[in-house]
Amino acid sequence: MEKHHLKGWLYLLPAFLFLGAFMIYPLADVFVYSFEEGYNSASQTFYGVGTYNYSYVLHDPYFLQALKNTFLLVVITVPLSTGFALLISMALSSVKPLKELFQTIYFLPYVTNTLAVGLVFMILFKKTAYSDGLVNLLINWFGGNSVDFIDGPYWAKMFVLCFYTIWVVMPFKILILTSSLASVNQVYYNAARVDGTSRFRIFRKITLPMISPTVFYLVITGFIGAFKAYSDAVALFGTNLNAAEMNTIVGYIYDMLYGDSGGYPSYASAAAILLFAIVLTITCINLLVSRKHVHYS
């Protein structure tokens, strides 16, 4: 028996070594840095130990802006993208002709190069010397005034960021939901039909509970992904996100490390730990809520 244990640990050792060196050690290190005041990574020195880093970050207007942006992004994009994905996959599973074609079309954004996507959004939203962008053309068509979506008011920029995020994350959700919907046994729908159940009730009482584990998975990963958003904002608004008021928490952490105002690993660590705490809390809440509404067979 003892021998078997040893063998088991031996098999796990390579994975442990790698995970330890590249995941657990850095995590622990970040946690330690976040309490070391004025840590300098070059000289490996710091002034003292305490919670000053957290206090600084929590009073930094840039961080608060990033926090607000991230929260808005999460609250808007996760429900909307999941909801739209659900609607589209429901529609996809109910059409018969050209089903494969539609599925391919809806999955295309997932395999499209980020730069190409950025170009598309540029054409849609960016104001240039020659045009105000396609969306503005539409707004003008309906008699509205042009809006500068990239350098203009906060709400316009937030709208573009949310739009972009939803558009980018949806294909994967559609793919997962379509296969999940296909796995629901047709016999339940037949049973419900014989009992005269309305389509809406079938969806709410049968389809949704049956695919609830998938929906829950998408919501959790959606939350985590949105909290870690950064590259989307950079793609739209450039690297100086603080100036554009469009920074995210991860963006703030990056700026603190390497940005123009960078060189503060202690602050970055504190912000990273804060982000971790937020994600952990939200995930725990999700898990609690799911206990009542998610049905595992």
Partner 1 sequence: MKIVLEHLTKEFPGRGKKNPGKVIAVNDFSFQIPDGKLVGLLGPSGCGKSTTLNLICGLLKPTGGKILFGEDDVTNLPPEHRGVGLVFQNYALYPHLTVLKNITFPLENLRGADKLTKSQMEERALEAARLVQIEALMDRKPGELSGGQQQRVAIARALVKMPKVLLLDEPLSNLDARLRLQTREEIRRIQQQTRITTVFVTHDQDEAMSISDLIVVMKEGVVQQIGKPQEVYDDPVNLFVAKFLGTPPINVFQGTVKNERLSIGGDEIMDVKGVADQEVAVGIRPEGFLLQEDGPLRCDLSRIEVMGRDISLVSTHKCCENPAIRSIIDAESSVDTSAETVRFAIKPHKLFLFQKENGERIRF
Residues in touch with partner 1 (CB under 8 A):
185, 187-188, 190-198, 201, 205-206, 209-210, 212, 295, 297
Least gap, CB of 15 to partner 1 (angstroms): 35
Least gap, CB of 193 to partner 1 (angstroms): 5
CB nearer partner 1, residue 109 or residue 209: 209
Say how many C-beta atoms besides its own lie within 10 A of residue 139's C-beta: 15
Which residues, 6 or more positions from 94, have their beta carbon under 8 angstroms from its beta carbon? none
CB nearer partner 1, residue 17 or residue 191: 191
Least gap, CB of 292 to partner 1 (angstroms): 11
Least gap, CB of 213 to partner 1 (angstroms): 11
Place of tokens 């980018």: 168
CB nearer partner 1, residue 155 or residue 188: 188
Our CA angle for 194, 199, 205, nearest 5°, is 85
Say how many C-beta atoms besides its own lie within 10 A of residue 158's C-beta: 18
Least gap, CB of 197 to partner 1 (angstroms): 5
Our CA angle for 117, 135, 82, nearest 5°, is 55
Q: Where are the beta strands (DSSP E) in the chain?
A: 36-37, 48-49
CB nearer partner 1, residue 15 or residue 187: 187
**Rounded to a whole number, what is the distance in angstroms from the first to the last CA of the chain?**
35
Cα 8 versus chain centre, distance:
37
What number of CA atoms fall less than 13 Å from residue 294's CA on the CB side? 16
CB nearer partner 1, residue 11 or residue 188: 188
CB nearer partner 1, residue 7 or residue 295: 295
Q: Are strands 36-37 and 48-49 parallel, antiparallel or unpaired?
A: antiparallel
CB nearer partner 1, residue 123 or residue 191: 191
Least gap, CB of 124 to partner 1 (angstroms): 42
Three-class secondary structure of residue 37 per DSSP: strand
Least gap, CB of 182 to partner 1 (angstroms): 17
26 with 254: CB under 8 angstroms?
A: no
Burial of 198 (0-12, 13-18, 19+ CB in 10 A): exposed
